[in-house]
Amino acid sequence: MIERVLIIGTGLIGASTGLALRTAGFSGRIDGWDQSSLELNAALQMGAVDGVVGNQWGALELARQADVVVLAVPVLAIKDWMQQLATVMGPDQLITDVGSTKLEITELAATLFGGKDQAIFLAGHPMAGKESGGALLAEASLFNGAMWLFTPTAAESTPLEKEWRSWVGFFGARSLDMDPKRHDEMCAWVSHLPQMLSTALAALLEDRFGDAPEIAAIGGRALRETTRLGASPYSMWRDVALTNTEPIAETLLSLEQRLTHVRENLRTPGLRDEFTLANRFRAKR
């Protein structure tokens, strides 16, 4: 039974996980660690965690006592924490993560966890968030209606893993198991490409027009929606680009080719065909 949870990383997703646990009726203890004292204090004040620790040694000591450790930090930091936690946690404990890419994480997990005297690892990725991060933006309802993806490395679920999956359901999230390679390929298309597209468009407009007042006057809703993700900080996406480089590069190349096709058909029926396909895609969703 899960009675103690440690959240490593009390930013938007980590703090929202703590709030979601409380709202769903979790009555155990939730501790938190973050390299930022501001994030830690914000998470503590809003009730996302019951206690905080400000150094990694203290976090590792809390990990020894936890039933579940949630890694809610960027992907490269997740991999670093996995190696540290492997030395202090055992078979009656579960480690899970919320990283945006899964292949490198699951490959590392296969070497560190799942053995007779090793902790259990369940790779996860809630498809929820905002263009900006931080505990101050955390919400208990962030995962309500969202898809929480899992890329398990073990053939069978343990009771602890099943219980964590149940809590995710209590958050209001749906869940889906995927192969980690397939996960990274699909997320490159449906999540990472939109981010890169929005970033590139916003950067292009900044280069081209800067502070031109006409942008605000005539940009309208379409521009705001298309460039909304352009507000996301590099720190949120650096590790995604580093750990999913090839799939993202493939999507960008495909988009470049498609844009070339659109440009070459601005005065032909080929442009109508593109709109037809686009309308068909949107009508299904």
Fold for 4-178, please state it. Answer: Rossmann fold (3.40.50)
Q: How much is the average pLDDT of 267-277? A: 97
pTM recorded for the entire structure: 0.93
> Where does the pLDDT of residue 276 fall: very low under 50, low under 70, confident under 90, or very high at 90 and above?
very high
Q: Regarding predicted confidence, which is higher, 40 or 114? A: 40
Fold for 182-283, please state it. Answer: 6-phosphogluconate dehydrogenase C-terminal fold (1.10.3660)
The sign of the torsion formed by the CA atoms of 258, 261, 266, 272 equals negative
Mean pLDDT over each residue of the chain, to the nearest integer: 95
* Dist CA 75 CA 5 (whole Å): 20
Biggest CA-to-CA distance, the chain: 67
Two tokens, residue 117: 């005297």
Pairing of strands 51-53, 68-71: unpaired
Q: How much is the average pLDDT of 181-198? A: 98
Q: Report the pLDDT value the prediction gives residue 97, as an integer from 0 to 100.
A: 98
Two tokens, residue 92: 């009656």
Q: How much is the average pLDDT of 104-125? A: 95
If we measure between CA atoms, which residue out of 49, 103, 139 comes closest to residue 240?
103
CA distance to 30, 156, 186, per residue, from 55 (Å): 16, 35, 36
Q: How much is the average pLDDT of 169-192? A: 98
Angle between helices 245-264 and 193-209 (to 10 degrees): 60
Two tokens, residue 66: 């936890």
If we measure between CA atoms, which residue out of 202, 147, 162 comes closest to residue 68?
162
Domain spans in the chain, listed from the N-terminal domain onward: 4-178, 182-283
Share of the chain above pLDDT 70, in %: 100
Q: How far is CA 214 from the centre of its chain?
A: 35
Q: Is the pLDDT of residue 237 over 80?
A: yes
Two tokens, residue 54: 């400000």
**Is residue 226 a contact partner of residue 200, using CB atoms and an 8 Å limit?**
no
Q: How much is the average pLDDT of 41-64? A: 95
If we measure between CA atoms, which residue out of 140, 145, 147, 99 comes closest to residue 15?
140
